[in-house]
Structure 1
């Protein structure tokens, strides 16, 4: 398995920031050839591409970009469009910084060194744009709406619990669209106090906001489903896989080739087994790292199957008879789900 340093001629380490990027161009031995600072704009991108051209024609160059999907997203797109291979670079750990200090130039050099130590066939490609980015935007919006809805629901129930018996009964019940509309439209008594007026105004505001949030979540779900069906037809027909969990799986998977195999996808999702044996106890546990959003999506799929899927219930009974604990059984289920998602996405998106 060749190292990256064996198949390229130069590597570019880039430490990205909001306004500017620190760049170091080095040879395959990690020796700096040129250092520069460019702006985070089209002029800066052109400046870097000109510096790459000055290296000589036909050179094999790889750019190691820290923050390729945040501050460096524009630069990563420009480099990819120009035919320069871009790889993701992890932020340096404290151990890597020990004895070196902290500066933009040091971080750019560490990006160079991190790239040169990689295997040539195991490079972390940046995540894709297009429909995948549209899904990511919708998921971020959904998370924001859901968090706000939870806070507003708690606030509304608190206000209702401080009211009369009718309000307290409403606080204990479900806040459906009909009950929210009734709360927003109810009228105050003729001689209402200032406290009652303010309380009802706030109840009305929260009820309308919650009704609007529910409509936005339904619209968001419909948009997710439409894009998921275009990217990976049939994915949501699998048991327990809804539009939200399917969208998160696509966002994390990104494109064929980002995860070299299903084991890498399992590690990304935090569902790969980690040895946790001691003495006579032989067991495994789940990986606590990886993409936690993807892990939550797989956990939701597993819970749905545990509750309702006859095939999954039969599997649980069989593994329980073998002496497995519920936690160990969930670990196995999540690993199977990760394998199923990887194969389905790889087949659908490759086709």
Structure 2
């Protein structure tokens, strides 16, 4: 069965695997009654094992994925058709659903893409996105507060970045009788911004605590790796997803964008950083590399040795990030097997 999904309706096409003919095609609304009608329709029009191909199993597709899984209908990811394959065939919901179903016929079902695991991993993705939003708003409030204190004379030295102590002090401000009307409103706004910043700080602490608990649930002891914290561990686990998704440590390095690329010319032989791959995973490895290069004695000695060999700081970090990717992948293979 192929499913073409939209915000309001989903279109379903059932293909007979013996003949390749389309047995039935129907559109149902995306609602609880619509899902119930969908499941009943599928049961009436199928015999034996049924497998559903959906283009993506998140967002619009998440509801039907859960409903079908609960009724023992296997759900797999269907890759969207290439544009050149659609040439001369047109496009409609019925065509797209039928194409999704037909795409499974020549394939080994054991090698099809399975939906990502739910539960703790999905929760980790949610709070990671939440953390990014909180951090953006907190940074915007800090910048606005700094600009306000530099524009109006409110008795606070804001020539340097504001400290935590200064922000707390601003949040406790009261009205000053000597303030002009513009200073009065500026003081009120500064107090509001400072209070928002402190609330953001508290929310980030709670977020980190929740992340740490989920990290430990998914990959026990991974946070013990030197340089990894709750946030960087979460980034790695979200990309790694589950055991079997990444088939080798070389593939993991390529996914992280730390697999070296040739940049040789003439007699000069060298490699350069890879600008591709998952940037969040790359950022996590970069944080680990910088932390170890700044605070780990064994790593400092390694940096000194490679510097004496004539390598630049960028080249040393490139090599070191590749080593970190290999080390973390092997740990994930053991922890999440």
- Normalised to the residue count of structure 2, the TM-score between the two structures is 0.84
Query: Which deviates more from structure 2 when the two are superposed, residues 314-323 or residues 141-150?
Result: 314-323
What's the CA shift string for 1:184-212, capped at 9, x where partnerless?
A: 22345423221111111110000000011
C-alpha contact (below 8 Å) 1:23/1:108 kept by paired residues = yes
Aligned residue for 2:177, secondary structure, equals coil
1:89 deviates by 3.3
Q: 1:54 to 1:312 in 2, by over 3 A?
A: farther
Contact 1:16 1:67 in 2 (8 A): no
Asked if structure 1 preserves the Cα contact closer than 8 Å seen for 2:257 and 2:276, the reply is yes
Consecutive unaligned residues in structure 2, runs of 5 or more: none
Counterpart of 1:41 (choices 31, 45, 70) is 31
Q: Distance in 2 between matches of 1:64 and 1:18?
A: 17
Distance 2:271 2:101 in 1: 36
SS at match of 1:71: helix
Distance in 1 separating the partners of 2:234 and 2:75? 25
- Segment of structure 1 superposing worse, 213-222 or 109-118: 109-118
1:286/1:331 contact within 8 Å kept: yes
Q: Where do residues 137-286 of structure 1 align in structure 2 (5 Å cutoff)?
A: 137-164=126-153, 166-167=155-156, 169-176=157-164, 178-274=165-261, 284-285=271-272
The aligned length equals 336
The alpha-carbon deviation at position 53 of structure 1 amounts to 3.8
Query: For the Cα contact (< 8 Å) 2:24–2:45, is it kept in 1?
Result: no
State the secondary structure of the residue aligned to 2:227.
Answer: coil
Alpha-carbon deviations, 1:235-264, whole Å to 9, x = none? Answer: 111011100111222222222233333344
Pairing partner for 1:291 from 268, 272, 278: 278
| CA-based RMSD | 3.1
TM-score computed with the length of structure 1 as normaliser: 0.81
Residues 91-170 of structure 1 aligned to structure 2 (within 5 Å): 91-92=80-81, 94-112=83-101, 114-115=103-104, 122-164=111-153, 166-167=155-156, 169-170=157-158
Change (3 A) 1:64 1:289: farther
Write the deviation string for residues 137-184 of structure 1: whole angstroms up to 9, x where unpaired. Answer: 2111111100001111111111011123943x23514330x2112112
